[in-house]
Amino acid sequence: MIGLCCLLGASLAVHAQDSLRLELSLEEAQQYALENNRTLKNASIDVLKAQATHWQSISSMLPQISAKADYSDYCGYEMNFGMMSIPMNPYGTLGVTASMAFSGAQVVAVQISKIAQRMSDISLKMSEQETMDQVKTLYYSALVMEQTVELLHRNLDNMKELYKYTEESVKVGIAEQTDADQLLIQLSTMRTGIYSSATSLEMVYNSLRLQLGVDVNTEIVLTQSIEDLLNAEAAFALVSEDFDLDNNYNYQLLKENTELSKKQLNAQKWSVGPQLSAFYQYSAKTYFGKDEGMNMTPPNMVGVSVSLPLFSSLNKTKAIQAAKFDYEKQLNTLEETEDALRIQHRQLCYNLETALQTYDTQKKNIDVTQRVFNNISNKYEVGAAASLDLTNAGTNLINAQSSYVQALMELVNAQIALEQLLNK
């Protein structure tokens, strides 16, 4: 957790339309999301709720004190016993009772609530990690789409110049109309690609706004580039890093869930155990008539009791067996998950290595394809290349750009997946 000070570098400006402008680096965007994401706010509330439930369990073993006051008036009635009568005077009673109950089941309930509290803490951390990963993915996606739109616009401008040159050539009879028609189709294809990419870019920004918890009209400006963020050495370092199961949030949750299953078994066992309870009661009775009536209420009373269930027609016994089976299943799940996570780590390392190699290849490919396109464009202008060659070169360039974008996103996703597993 970096803290609010990290956001001081983010530039905030208000437009005339009361829309907000955010200029964010990747680190600032992640921190902003941690402080404003609504899903994380709910996860934080769950942590507070778990804490309250834990103290509620503890309070069940602490003394409980209650007070009661009442007033009674018999409206002048007197009890007659032959020659003697007893007036039933108005009276008031004040009673205070302190009680306490204790059993092994209550102790286990406190332990269970503590485990639930730890699980809510882990879930919050996992939600924070997932939010940061989502922001990172969207940040990269926005940068990639912006780069793609920019490349397509440059290609479109070049193609427009070539189309203009071809039309002039057709007019003077040194080029065929079919050449111009082919370039016109290529222009339409590029315009469609630009529109599609711009639409996808807006979808990415909307998803980023949702993660940041900002209004839909908020303008987001990304202050870092792909070159600033991509670090092949850091990615290779992840591959060689040892995998510690205990650092993985999913494994931590599963271990806590296994411990919870064990405590639930203990709770079932304590359901046949004894329960101790004690109380103290103080009562004060005051008469409001001339004579005090019959007072049979003792001012002080103390009581202790022990209860022990003796026979439940095997109901509790079978409940204990069922809890034991659940615990055994959870142990098996834990062991299976340990193996699955180790296999997943190996696979994610392989995926990242492959993604790095593919990205490097596609990056070189797009450079070569761009040079080929530029070369054929120059040849076309001097009549040394046909329009079909130019169209094919443009198509190859678009395909190369698409492959580059795909390779870049696969690299980002592979790195994030491994970082998430390693809890980096």
Residue 186, in any domain of the structure:
yes
Q: Which residue has better confidence, 8 or 416?
A: 416
CA dist 43 and 32 (Å) reads: 16
**Residue 123 has what pLDDT?**
92
Residue 94, in any domain of the structure:
no
Question: Of 34-38, 83-87, 91-95, 152-156, which gets the smallest average pLDDT?
Answer: 83-87
Q: Average pLDDT for residues 65-94, to the nearest whole number?
A: 81
Q: DSSP string covering 151-205, please? A: HHHHHHHHHHHHHHHHHHHHHHTSS-HHHHHHHHHHHHHHHHHHHHHHHHHHHHH
Percent of the chain with pLDDT over 70: 93
With a CB cutoff of 8 Å and minimum separation 6, the contacts of 419 are: 133, 238
Question: What are the beta bridge partners of residue 94?
Answer: 69, 284
Q: What does residue 394 show for φ and ψ, rounded to 5 degrees?
A: -65, -40
Its pTM stands at: 0.76
At residue 125, does pLDDT exceed 60?
Answer: yes
Residue 82, in any domain of the structure:
no
3-state secondary structure 90-133: CEEEEEEEEEEEEEHHHHHHHHHHHHHHHHHHHHHHHHHHHHHH
What DSSP state is assigned to residue 4?
A: G
**Residue 294 has what pLDDT?**
61
Q: Average pLDDT for residues 18-36, to the nearest whole number?
A: 87
Q: Average pLDDT for residues 329-351, to the nearest whole number?
A: 94
CA dist 401 and 153 (Å) reads: 12
Q: What does residue 53 show for φ and ψ, rounded to 5 degrees?
A: -65, -40
Residue 79, in any domain of the structure:
no
**Residue 201 has what pLDDT?**
92
The candidate with the shortest Cα–Cα distance to 234, out of 27, 360, 419, is: 419
Q: What is the pLDDT of residues 280-314, one digit of tens each?
A: 899 888 877 666 656 677 889 898 888 888 877 77
Q: What does residue 103 show for φ and ψ, rounded to 5 degrees?
A: -155, 165
At residue 228, does pLDDT exceed 80?
Answer: yes
Q: DSSP string covering 44-88, please? A: HHHHHHHHHHHHHHHHTTS-EEEEEEEEE--TT-EEEETTEEEE-
- Token pair belonging to 186: 């290529």
Question: What are the beta bridge partners of residue 91?
Answer: 72, 287
- Token pair belonging to 243: 């995998």
With a CB cutoff of 8 Å and minimum separation 6, the contacts of 301 are: 279, 280, 281, 282, 283
Domain that holds residue 374: 4-62+103-273+312-422
Terminus-to-terminus CA distance in the chain, angstroms? 13
Residue 225 Cα distances to 98, 147, 355, 360, angstroms: 68, 9, 20, 17
**Residue 315 has what pLDDT?**
80
At residue 19, does pLDDT exceed 60?
Answer: no
Residue 363, in any domain of the structure:
yes
Q: Average pLDDT for residues 253-268, to the nearest whole number?
A: 91
Q: Which residue has the tokens 């080029």?
A: 175
Residue 52, in any domain of the structure:
yes
At residue 3, does pLDDT exceed 60?
Answer: no
Q: What is the pLDDT of residues 373-405, one digit of tens each?
A: 889 888 877 778 877 787 788 888 888 888 988
With a CB cutoff of 8 Å and minimum separation 6, the contacts of 48 are: none
Q: How confident is the model at residue 128 (pLDDT cuts 50, 70, 90)?
A: very high
Number of domains in the chain: 1
What DSSP state is assigned to residue 5?
A: G
Determine how many CB atoms are found less than 10 A away from the CB of residue 174.
10
Residue 234, in any domain of the structure:
yes
Where are the strands (E) in 241-293, listed by range?
275-287
What DSSP state is assigned to residue 113?
A: H
Residue 246, in any domain of the structure:
yes
Which CATH number is 397's domain given? Answer: 1.20.1600.10
3-state helix vs strand vs coil in the chain, percent to 5: 65, 15, 20
At residue 17, does pLDDT exceed 50?
Answer: no
At residue 23, does pLDDT exceed 70?
Answer: yes
The mean pLDDT value of the chain amounts to 85
